[in-house]
Amino acid sequence: MNAPHPPKVAGIDSTVPSPAHTVASVTSGGSPAVPGAPAALLQDRLAGWVSDLTTLHELTERLIRTGTLDDALPELLRAGATLLGARRGLVVLEPADGLGPATTTGLGLGRADLGHLETVERAALSYGRILQGLPVADGGIAEPDLLAEEGLDPRHREVAARLGYAASYTLPLRTEDTGPLGAAVWLYDEPAAPRERQRYLAGLYVRYAAAHLARLVEVERTRACVAAIREELLPARLPRVPGVRLAARHRTSPRGGGDWYDALPLPDSALGLAVGSVTGSGPGAVAAMGRLRASLRAYAVMEGEDPVAVLSDLELLLRLTEPARSATALFAYCEPALRRITLAGAGHSPPLLIGERRTEFVETSVSAPLNMLACFEAPSVELRAEAGETVLLYSDGLLHRTGDPVDRAFARLHAAAAGVSRAGRQDPDAVVDHVLRTVLPDGRDRADSEEDVVLLAVRFD
């Protein structure tokens, strides 16, 4: 009776060649056969298959848990190094359709090392030939003793000697649906070549990894597209208005959220300021944010001196055109010559006034978000700033990203604003940078999050 095949694991075909560590068959010229030897041989082969499949399962499980290219590419290199017995390597991602993203990641190679490799003509490198579309055998490209090759490019020989590698093994990254994605190469410190068994297992792993990378490439492209559209929907630059200086910071979530800001010149040397947030995330929220911002701009030009009227019009528009969506917004009519701001808010956090003698939240009337009341009726408030003071507008995402309860998040924001140095208060860019770094330390302002962050600072001269 034939032994049953082990089941497929992690999408990998378990019908594999005999393991390299299988006990060799007894030749006719050797010792007499020992009773039970065939059973022991079969048992050893099965043990080898199980061991290899277990290793592949663990490596592919680690890979599938990666959600970005920045995590997946190093994991691919580490897994390949384990399977091939190499110590260093690099992966070059260059999708053949030219739409990107294009990147090079090294394992045990610094940025300078990768730069040295870039000085070698691509046709002289194994992965360069793959990227140029030259045919490659299923087993990849093995170069067991680079320095002994007579036809080796002189520059390649020099770089190999500088980096201290003597052999390489390269596999293409491609899928049936997307075509070529790039190439992965592993480097050996001494002349060496992977055994047949190692090549087979590495090939299985790389085919699975290529499919995962193709999915991540599509995710990365979608994120980049949403981010580009979103940036186009926000102000390309802040206006220059005598009497005030402006600074803004924006951090978007990977899926693209609906937080936004705006600053636009108005008649009589006035300035319209706005921050807001649309519910939801993804392309739909980004599109809704763009429509809302464009509508607010139109209302601000027509009746910006009355912030309540602006938000009332926005409330009516949202209720009639997008009844299933809500939004928060704050609009301020700024008169730089008088250092006066008249503002109204709909479900939005209050601005923060930062100065030499005071750091305090502006008292605003309580109102529900837009599209959650029959009409918008919250009154406006007026504040006067002293010369040198800064008014900070921000989105709720700044508070939510802290992970703290609301009262503690407000306290953290207040402490960060109060901690701006005297010299820093002279520059609105320094103010927003300090607040962002202090409220969201350790790079949390740039880390992936479901929450967008918007900061808009107005400093009165």
Q: What is the band of 374 on the pLDDT scale with cuts at 50, 70, 90?
A: low
What is the CATH number assigned to the segment(s) 41-225? 3.30.450.40
Check residues 324 and 193 and name the one with the higher pLDDT: 193
What are the pLDDT digits (tens) for 271-323?
A: 999 999 988 777 788 888 888 899 999 999 998 899 999 998 998 888 888 88
What is the CATH number assigned to the segment(s) 235-460? 3.60.40.10
Q: Which two tokens stand for residue 251?
A: 């951090």
Please report how the helices 307-321 and 283-303 are oriented relative to each other, as an axis angle in degrees rounded to 10.
140
Q: Would you say residue 419 has pLDDT above 50?
A: yes
Check residues 203 and 374 and name the one with the higher pLDDT: 203
Give yes or no for a contact between 440 and 399, defined as CB atoms under 8 angstroms apart.
no
What are the pLDDT digits (tens) for 141-151?
A: 999 999 888 88
Question: Whose CA is closest to 183, among 235, 131, 141?
Answer: 131
Q: Would you say residue 350 has pLDDT above 50?
A: yes
Q: What does pLDDT average to over the chain?
A: 85
Per-residue pLDDT, averaged over 21-40, amounts to 48
Q: What is the band of 43 on the pLDDT scale with cuts at 50, 70, 90?
A: confident
Check residue 135 and give its pLDDT.
72
For the entire predicted model, the pTM comes to: 0.63
Q: What is the band of 19 on the pLDDT scale with cuts at 50, 70, 90?
A: very low
Q: Look at the chain and count its residues.
A: 461
Q: Please, which contacts does 315-323 make with residues 24 or more away whose CB atoms are closer than 8 Å? A: 315/346, 315/370, 315/371, 315/373, 315/375, 315/376, 316/375, 318/292, 318/370, 318/371, 319/371, 321/291, 322/288, 322/371, 323/371
Q: What is the band of 324 on the pLDDT scale with cuts at 50, 70, 90?
A: confident
Check residues 410 and 21 and name the one with the higher pLDDT: 410
- How many whole angstroms separate alpha carbon 41 and alpha carbon 204? 25
What are the pLDDT digits (tens) for 129-186?
A: 898 887 766 668 999 999 888 888 999 999 999 999 999 999 999 998 888 999 999 9
Q: Would you say residue 255 has pLDDT above 90?
A: no
Check residue 138 and give its pLDDT.
61
Per-residue pLDDT, averaged over 64-76, amounts to 94
What are the pLDDT digits (tens) for 99-128?
A: 889 999 999 999 999 999 999 999 899 999
Q: Where are the domains of the chain?
A: 41-225, 235-460
Per-residue pLDDT, averaged over 223-245, amounts to 81
What are the distances in angstroms from CA 382 to CA 150, 260, 345, 379? 82, 23, 12, 10
